[in-house]
Amino acid sequence: MNSKFNIAVDAMGGDNAPLKVLEGASLFFKDSPNAFINFYGDKEKISKELNKFSNLNQDNCKIIHAPDAVPGNVSVRDAIKIGKNTSMWMSIDSVKNGENQIVVSSGNTGALLVMSKLIIKMIEGLDKPALAAVWPNFKNYSVVLDLGANVECSSDNLVQFSVMGAELYKSIYNLNDATVGLLNIGSEEIKGNETIKDANDKLNEIKIDGFKYGGYIEGSQIKNGDTNVIVTDGFTGNVALKTAEGTANFITTEIKKSFSNSFLSKIGYLFSYFTFKEIKKKLDPRRFNGAIFLGLNAPVIKSHGGADGFAFYNSLNLSYRILNGNLINKIKNNFINNGK
């Protein structure tokens, strides 16, 4: 394995595994040859599907047998009881042991988070991990966090999320600075609860290279793209995420219905086909598949459980960009060396 990046993949997590995992890997290696993937899971099942992809071979991947898998609907406690022979546990443990540098899994979110905290542990100086993901906007993309890892957050947690989110944005887009906004019910200084106000005061005092605090941002402004990183607690973030996903689905569904109502509308659709194809592409959630648990000593990527091969490819692509951007060392530099 003389590659630059070694990626651990839980090949048995989520729906239609391991086929969708291998489909994603096959797409990934067309763009990112300078990587090596270790697949953790049922060796017989993975080997059977692996033969379908000519560009997956011993030069870029390996199967490590894991006899057990974490069910998608099991509790976190039961997932841990299943033992250390699950594909999820073994893939995470391989990062702790230095065999791989990052984990990608479509498995049970709660189990993935708890196992990662137990095995990889938190970065010194950080209290809680945050779940961050990429959202499209009018200009490009934004990073939003926390999306559900922490229902309740202190002002210090929000400050930590802000610093980590800024480093994530800069790393995956190879930029030198990022503008951070605190999600609130208004942009005025008097708006928000005491936690939000306290976090706002602390963020105004932060002096880190490339970190720009832009103040409060309302939900309706996320789409504008003026703020690169949007920070909130996990409860609000998860509600915002599900609302955004539902709205995007509603829009695309209504467009389809409108253009199928009559013969004339169908003709109109033909003239507008390429325009709406671009809109659909922009709103396709598969292109933004892959959320990262920030705050751990190594990056862990959570792919959607229902992801298909193309969506899983995007999770792998995100993992590559995170490693290429040296994200974890940059976060550690802020919280350990600078004592933030």
Indicate whether 110 and 160 sit together in one domain: no
How much is the pLDDT for 340?
46
The edge-to-edge listing of strands for the beta sheet with 229-231 is: 61-65, 35-41, 5-10, 102-105, 300-302, 291-294, 130-136, 141-145, 229-231, 178-183, 211-217
Indicate whether 112 and 188 sit together in one domain: no
How much is the pLDDT for 303?
94
**73 near 109, Cβ under 8 Å?**
no
Indicate whether 158 and 86 sit together in one domain: no
* Amino acid occupying residue 117: K
* Amino acid occupying residue 61: C
How much is the pLDDT for 178?
96
**Residue 213 bridge partners (DSSP):** 180
Indicate whether 96 and 196 sit together in one domain: no
Parent domain of 237: 127-287
Among residues 254, 270, 287, which one ends one of the domains?
A: 287
What global pTM score does this model have?
0.87
How much is the pLDDT for 339?
47
Indicate whether 161 and 263 sit together in one domain: yes
Classify strands 300-302 and 291-294 as parallel, antiparallel or unpaired.
Answer: antiparallel
Nearest CA-CA partner of 122 in 172, 157, 151, 148: 157
Among residues 266, 287, 308, which one ends one of the domains?
A: 287
Q: Supply the CATH number for residue 59's domain.
A: 3.40.718.10
Indicate whether 185 and 246 sit together in one domain: yes
Residue 259 to residue 268: CA distance in whole angstroms: 7
Would you mind telling me the total number of residues written for the chain in this entry? 340
Indicate whether 119 and 156 sit together in one domain: no
How much is the pLDDT for 267?
77
* Amino acid occupying residue 295: G
How much is the pLDDT for 269?
66
C-alpha pair distances (Å), 46 with each of 21, 42, 200:
9, 6, 49
Indicate whether 256 and 140 sit together in one domain: yes
Indicate whether 327 and 201 sit together in one domain: no
Indicate whether 162 and 306 sit together in one domain: no
10 Å CB burial of residue 150 (0-12, 13-18, 19+) is: buried
Indicate whether 187 and 319 sit together in one domain: no
Indicate whether 76 and 111 sit together in one domain: yes
**What does each of the 340 residues of the chain score in pLDDT, given as a tens digit?**
446 899 999 999 999 999 999 999 999 998 877 899 999 999 999 999 999 999 999 999 999 999 999 988 888 888 888 878 999 999 999 999 999 999 999 999 999 999 999 999 999 889 899 999 998 889 889 999 999 889 899 999 999 999 999 999 999 999 999 999 999 998 777 788 899 999 999 999 998 989 999 999 999 899 899 999 999 999 999 898 888 878 877 877 877 787 777 777 777 667 676 766 776 677 677 888 889 999 999 999 999 998 999 999 999 999 999 999 999 999 998 876 554 4
What residue has token string 């832009």?
214
How much is the pLDDT for 252?
76
Q: What's the number of CA atoms in the CB half-sphere (13 Å) around residue 142?
A: 28
Number of structural domains (the chain) is 2
**105 near 112, Cβ under 8 Å?**
yes
